[in-house]
Amino acid sequence: MSKGKVLMAMSGGLDSSVAAMMLHEEGYELVGFTLKTWEYPHEDMHTKETGCCSLDAINDAHHLAVSMGFPHYVLDIREEFNRHIVSNFIDQYLKGRTPNPCVLCNVHIKWAALLKRAEQLNCSYIATGHYARTREEDRRVVLYKGRDENKNQSYVLWGLSQDFLKRTIFPLGGFTKPEIREMAEDAGFREIAEKRESYEICFIPDDDYRGFLNRKVPGLKEKVEGGDFVDTSGKVMGKHKGYPFYTIGQRKGLNVAVGEPLYVKEIKADSNTIVLAKSNELFKDEFFISSFNPIKYPSVKDGMEVSVKIRYKDKGHPARVYNQKNLVRVELQNKVPAITPGQSAVLYEGKDVVGGGFIETSI
């Protein structure tokens, strides 16, 4: 007897494949879906097509589903993906910010698209291969870290609403990556087990976002190159290649020699100016979070103690948080370098995700 009908998001990679195997063995009725979010035009392809949108990945997902006896479909959402994710990516860089496309994609594209199809197919749940866990507590669904600290993906899921979390299963949350790889090998899927992980943005397979921006924004290089590098006092120190091509904390590629290392401290898009500073001048003890999505509690309490992660591989920093108008103000216990506008800040209480949003360094 089926334990329920689940719409299984399948990228063709190791994690979602093993997640599908696990749910299938547990007795769930699966319907496999692979999202086609991007197709690389020839001018954007400097390497072999890879990632979750490639023909090979789609075929691998389909083969796995067929071998286990459940249907598999490809859902073409390239138009929505380009409109919401790629356009936002470009827009954020043109504003002097550093975007976080995977977070936006999870909330506005993947989960929304999958749940819409789940409703149409009478699926009670959707499932993904993310390393994260959920539990119910005080009538809320709490998102918390996966068991594998090296692979924990709760950071990129902060934008999921309670409605999304209530309908989501994360089969891999209680396992480590080596255990998942071993499961694939034991099941006879050696090719899947040996797949390498991709850390690039899916629509930039060559990992060259600067080249991508130049191809997507005609005349960008000519418009922005030749702006000023300045120090914190405003003194001109040299010329740069264009403000969208730099990120906060960047050291390499500045070509400014002053006898000691300099880093990008601030990007001023309006004046095409980049502020450089010494390493000790990059540290801040306060920032703000916009578009905050509360998860563990309906809202944050003023003075609440949390650990805040400001990037995916960050270990977290002790802080207190306060409500300030429509933002969350974060007061760090210790100063932290290279806090980057546009990136995600996620608040944790132990392993639990309190909530998250986008970093703002000023209001």
For 38-90, the pLDDT digits (tens) are 875 544 444 444 455 577 888 889 999 999 999 999 999 999 999 999 999 99
Residue 216: inside a domain: no
Angstrom distance (rounded) from CA 237 to CA 54: 44
The predicted structure's pLDDT at residue 42:
46
Residues 6+ apart with CB under 8 A from 184: 14, 17, 18, 21, 190, 192, 193
Statement to judge: residues 175 and 31 lie in one domain = yes
The predicted structure's pLDDT at residue 44:
45
Which residue numbers in the chain have pLDDT < 70?
Answer: 1-2, 40-53, 198-199
Statement to judge: residues 122 and 65 lie in one domain = yes
86 close to 44: Cβ distance less than 8 angstroms: no
Q: For Cα atoms 307, 311, 315, give the angle at the middle one, nearest 5 degrees.
A: 45
The predicted structure's pLDDT at residue 1:
54
CB atoms within 10 A of CB 252: 7
Domain with 330, as residue range(s), is 283-360
Residue 214: inside a domain: no
The predicted structure's pLDDT at residue 198:
67
Residue 218: inside a domain: no
The SS3 call for residue 121 is coil
Read off the tokens for 293: 């999505």
Statement to judge: residues 336 and 319 lie in one domain = yes
Residue 213: inside a domain: no
The predicted structure's pLDDT at residue 45:
42
Statement to judge: residues 314 and 236 lie in one domain = no
The predicted structure's pLDDT at residue 40:
54
Angstrom distance (rounded) from CA 341 to CA 361: 6
Residues recognised as catalytic: 105, 202
Cα distance between the two ends of the chain = 56
User: Tell me: the pLDDT tens digits for 207-253?
Assistant: 899 999 999 999 999 999 999 999 999 999 999 999 999 999 999 99
37 close to 106: Cβ distance less than 8 angstroms: no
Nearest Cα residue to 300 out of 308, 292, 311: 292
Among 264, 281, 298, where does a domain finish? 281
Q: What is the pTM of this model?
A: 0.92
Angstrom distance (rounded) from CA 318 to CA 340: 18
211 burial level (CB within 10 Å; 0-12, 13-18, 19+): middle
Statement to judge: residues 241 and 356 lie in one domain = no
Angstrom distance (rounded) from CA 174 to CA 171: 7
253 close to 301: Cβ distance less than 8 angstroms: no
Angstrom distance (rounded) from CA 326 to CA 129: 33
